[in-house]
Amino acid sequence: MKLSKRGAVFIATGVTGAMALTACGGGSDSGDDEASSGGSGRVVYGESTDWPENLFPLIAAGNATSVANIEAQLFPQVYLVQPDLTLEWNEELLTEEPTSEVSGETQTVTYKLNPDAVWSDGEPITAEDFEFSWNLQRSSDPADGGCASLLSTTGYEQVTAVEGSDDGTVTVTLGSPFADWKALFSGSNNPVFPAHVLDKGDPAANCEAVTTGWPIADGIPSDISGGPWQLKKENINNGQQIVVLTPNEAYWGEKPKLEQLVIQGIGNDPTTAVQGLSSGELNMIYPQPQLDLVDQIADLEPNVVSDVNFGLSFEHVDFNTTDPLLSDVRVRQAFAMALDRQEIVDQTVGQFSSDAQVLDNRIWLNTQPQYEDTAPEQYQQPNAEAAKALLTEAGWAQGSDGIFAKGGQRLSLRIDTTANNPLREQTINVMIPQLKEAGIEASFNANPDIFAGADKPTSLEAGGFQVALFAWVGSPFISGTPPIYLSPQGDAIGQNYARIGTPEIDALFAEWTTLTEDSEIADTGNEIDRLLWEQMGTIPLYQKPTFIAYSSTIEGAEDNPTQAGPLWNASTWSLQQ
């Protein structure tokens, strides 16, 4: 392929054998010259999670950390999550802090848009964009103009109207109070979308577009952006897992200080990350922390800055309750009884952080003030004999090899997880002998399609798994939690990959998101988790630490251990000369 200087890709050997970068944006390859936006220099971020297939954040195929990192500053958000888990209103999108008023059963939220706010094509950001974003997410029922492919409608289904006025005021009316109203139109996975680019004019057509999403090779429709960075299709090399963000020339606020932000898929191999950071081919990494990796990065100081934090992410096990071997809750309970979760912590994250501990709650994490240990006594310590007794009660018989069987079928379970993740492989390797002691056979399976769409039969969304090990990456917004546990409605499972739920849990979630007192929100969340232990669709393992490492030449970098991620403020970064 013939390459041109602008908007082209050149090859640099090193970290991946063929790391591709770009020289778009008008600057030199070295980054010494300034681009037309005023930015200079390049930062290369090594993406260690699975490379995305789709960039649309409202569907399962786009519900990935790598997508959140790419789109951290591409679309407008009314509230921005800070590293200390607080929220700050977006002073570049809005002219004043949003307000919320509750009168009876009606809640009114008001935003004042900055008149200078425009999309990258020059079209103003208006109330029509807010209205479209609401209509896109208000229902998962196609009969109601909704879309079953949506991961969540929480909050938006309570909205009854979105209206704009000539002075840039956007008024959102909710038919019932929504405690998490600041989550509306906030977060990289839930921003304001451009109506003039995406609206097909018909709910069914919009649903079809949502279901298809944005395949990464096609980029974002019309290369549209409403943030300081822009991703152009010509700057995507999907084969080599490269995207290059360049400054959005139409951005009305403070433009990026860099000429390019390169996101390069590197996988989760510690050697690749360390070599890349040491050679300077990578400037930042945010991998799954592992003992060898943390130690090797520490040896690179003072040229490299690193830090371990505990944010709002937790590692857990999901059961596919529609699988014949797992449909009986007693089998799932026996699995949980067999686990020594303290040993799992000790042999994994406890190796590099003395603060790591077992997580006994799915709603609140260990470092949150609302956290309570809600785990019933039978799951506090491993008990293989109790697990065997429960399996026997469920009609299983232990064979001569120690593994239970029923109806001629062995109790043999495949545990899927992300590919090229040594920490998760170690987690499963610790679990396998624990389960075997209770008569449950388990095997490790690296599934490259685990986060793919329903067209991939072994994905979480398609339901082609038995047991899955992965993490939920959270935020201070509680409204992101219900879609994980609410009862599936037909084909609309949201993020409930366990495919289980109860009317009681559903009702408590509905109440939870209307509460306004912090103490009530905390108590109800803990009450919900006690019920989640009873249905045993998931097992929490531990609050997941984050690990960031970056070149000491980057000024302004700071870990944000939430969904906002390490690139949350990349537009403010600069390089020391």
Task: Using alpha carbons only, give the angle 43, 47, 50 rounded to the nearest 5 degrees.
Answer: 160
Least confident among 5-19, 65-79, 371-385, 528-542: 5-19
pLDDT at position 243, please? 98
pLDDT at position 258, please? 97
What confidence category does residue 31 fall into, taking pLDDT thresholds of 50, 70 and 90? very low
- Closest of 70, 206, 189, 184 to residue 134, by C-alpha: 184
Q: How high does pLDDT run on average in the chain?
A: 91
Examine the pLDDT at 502 and tell me if it is beyond 90. yes
Least confident among 250-259, 439-448, 557-566: 557-566
Looking at the DSSP bridge assignments, the partners of residue 404 are 398
- Coil, helix or strand for 205? helix
The 8-class DSSP code of residue 220 comes to S
What confidence category does residue 562 fall into, taking pLDDT thresholds of 50, 70 and 90? confident
Examine the pLDDT at 17 and tell me if it is beyond 60. no
**Summary count for the chain: helices (H), strands (E):** 13, 23
Mean pLDDT, range 62-70, rounded to an integer: 94
Cα(44)–Cα(33) distance, rounded to whole angstroms? Answer: 17
Q: Which two tokens stand for residue 494?
A: 């949201």
Examine the pLDDT at 12 and tell me if it is beyond 60. no
Q: Which two tokens stand for residue 307?
A: 């830090």
Cα(388)–Cα(75) distance, rounded to whole angstroms? Answer: 52
What confidence category does residue 376 fall into, taking pLDDT thresholds of 50, 70 and 90? very high
- Answer yes or no: are the C-beta atoms of 459 and 452 closer than 8 Å: yes
What confidence category does residue 38 fall into, taking pLDDT thresholds of 50, 70 and 90? low
* Stated pTM of the model: 0.78
What confidence category does residue 293 fall into, taking pLDDT thresholds of 50, 70 and 90? confident
pLDDT at position 188, please? 87
pLDDT at position 29, please? 37
What confidence category does residue 437 fall into, taking pLDDT thresholds of 50, 70 and 90? very high
For residue 289, say if its preceding peptide bond is cis, omega within 30 degrees of 0: no
Mean pLDDT, range 395-400, rounded to an integer: 97
